[in-house]
Amino acid sequence: MKKINPQAISRNAEKELQQRKGSDSWLKEAISFFRRSGWIWKVQSDYQEDMVWELFENLPLANRSETRWAFFQLVACVLQNKWKAVRLPRTESKYKKNHYNNVGPVVIDIMDTLHKHGYIGMKKGYKFEDENNAAQTRVWATDKLLETCPVSPKNIVEVPYEVVILKGPKGPNGKRPLKDYRDTRFTRKTRKKLELINEVNTNADVLFLNYRIYAYVQRQFVEKWSWDGRLYTSGYRHIQGLEEEERLQLSINGDPVVEVDYSGLHPRLLYTWEGCQYDDDPYTAVHRNPYVRAFLKIILLCMINNPGKTEAEKAANDWLWQFPRKDKETGEYISPHLSYDKWFLQQKLKRIGITKAGPLIDEFSEVHEPIAHHLCTPKPTGFKLRNQDSSIAIDVLYNFAQKGIPCIPVHDSFLIQDQYKDELVKVMNTTYKKHTKGYRCPTKVKSLEANILVSNLVS
């Protein structure tokens, strides 16, 4: 059998890309300079960052903070995507500064200067016939730039520029555009807390299988400050992109982690709205078989987040059976990949006669009669619950950040070094009582050792 030579494969790939460089197909694949609003480029190596600044000093550019910032963002973007073109407009009105865009129109002069001195290639006003957007200039790194600034793309990462995000109503494409806003006492206080949380978490060595994992957190609100506001990590190799089993394999500063979460948080919060303490498991209240709990949890959450019974039932059934979805571009129906765990759950539910969510939705409405008026309603119940749970979460994280202890959120659960698990449970309990005027919510501690033990017992 012929041995595979990774170096040869890499060289051939680079050669092919070099041959395509400048072609119509290559220019069409250009990435947008503004592809992620509210994020900026950062070079992780101080030595390699100095190379970029040395280039700036050797160019006839004004030594102003705005110019330096725009220069660094453009060069970092081009270097990070060194095998692709980057597209950006030459119209000054497109560079309006707000909470999500920190680069001004000065980037146009910087682009021209870099091109004049041979550091970037350029194709002005480039537009394809099938493109709906306006013509945009394409730029790319030349060999001169790559030799002057031999910065590894692996050392250039995206980090949040703005950590307090406000999204507007859904557009025709179903997506919520970013909405600019005026700072208030609330947004400034939230930003201050998140900046400290991010500083502590990102200075920690968070590793998964020897890969660095990023834990930059943003708080994302929807339409108003009282709706949603959940904490999200995103970007390359971010924590919330990992499965639960993978998260438990993380290490923080060389120590194993545990994940602690609130049990049945949203249903219990609804009971506190009605002045009630709920101590049973809100999900298994309608069926005690442990295999059914995962589906019951989805059903109740769908009832909380959908405007009617029909929508909730459809969403829950779709989660269980993963019906084929229609591709927006081709119109074809594509069957999602069915994991073994989902297949196993389907078989277990079939054996006990559960094949759809409808009957269980009716049972939930009866069992949870005190909060039934919050379920399957067009009221923004889900938005308000996520706003409350995110307020709890940010206070838990800030408590540890003030002590310099990294604590990373996965919505309503938290990852922390094993040695701090007891303190985390205590802080979570105290914070929940503070936000609900004295009510209680149980917590669950999950660890890799416990998962292995359970797996062995099941085997």
CB-based contacts of 43: which residues, under 8 Å, 6+ apart? 49, 52, 76, 151, 155, 156
Kindly state the percentage of the chain with pLDDT values over 90: 64
Domain match, 152 and 32 both: yes
Q: Which residue blocks in 158-292 are alpha helix, DSSP H?
A: 185-202, 244-247, 265-273
Top mean-pLDDT range of 4-13, 129-138, 448-457? 129-138
Domain match, 89 and 68 both: yes
Does any domain span residue 131? yes
Phi/psi-derived region of residue 125, left when phi > 0, alpha when psi is between -120 and 50, beta in every other case: left
Write the CATH number for 125: 1.10.10
CA distances from 127 to 23, 51, 122 (A): 13, 33, 13
- Domain end (from 160, 175, 190): 160
Instruction: Write the single-letter amino acid at 45.
Output: S
Helix (H) or strand (E) holding 344: helix 340-351
Closest CA to 268 of 283, 290, 253: 283
Answer yes or no: is pLDDT of 304 > 70.
yes
Does any domain span residue 301? no
- Domain end (from 132, 160, 188): 160
- Domain end (from 160, 191, 211): 160
pLDDT band at 155 (very low <50, low <70, confident <90, very high): confident
pLDDT band at 457 (very low <50, low <70, confident <90, very high): very low
**How far is it, in rounded angstroms, from Cα 131 to Cα 29?**
12
Answer whether 230's CB lies under 8 Å from 389's CB: yes
389-435 residue pLDDT tens: 999 999 999 999 999 999 999 988 999 999 999 999 999 999 999 99
**How far is it, in rounded angstroms, from Cα 346 to Cα 74?**
50
Domain match, 149 and 169 both: no
Instruction: Write the single-letter amino acid at 22.
Output: G
**How far is it, in rounded angstroms, from Cα 6 to Cα 447?**
37
Q: What are phi and psi of 447, to 5 degrees?
A: -140, 165
pLDDT band at 453 (very low <50, low <70, confident <90, very high): very low
Domain match, 177 and 117 both: no
pLDDT, residue 379, reads: 93
**How far is it, in rounded angstroms, from Cα 290 to Cα 258?**
23
The sheet with strand 164-167 has its strands ordered as 164-167, 217-222, 224-233
Instruction: Write the single-letter amino acid at 80.
Output: Q
- pTM, whole model, 2 decimals? 0.84
pLDDT, residue 459, reads: 39
Does any domain span residue 355? no
Least-confidence region, from 13-22, 92-101, 161-170: 13-22
Give the residue with greater pLDDT, 14 vs 40.
40
pLDDT band at 5 (very low <50, low <70, confident <90, very high): low
The token duo for 438 is 């004295």
Domain extent for 96: 19-160
Answer yes or no: is pLDDT of 209 > 70.
yes
Does any domain span residue 331? no
State how many domains the chain has. Answer: 2
- The predicted model gives 269-273 an average pLDDT of 98
Domain match, 116 and 170 both: no
**How far is it, in rounded angstroms, from Cα 6 to Cα 24?**
29
Domain match, 128 and 247 both: no
Domain match, 170 and 154 both: no
pLDDT, residue 169, reads: 94
Answer yes or no: is pLDDT of 360 > 50.
yes
Does any domain span residue 187? yes
Does any domain span residue 362? no
- The predicted model gives 166-188 an average pLDDT of 93
Answer whether 146's CB lies under 8 Å from 29's CB: no
Domain match, 147 and 209 both: no
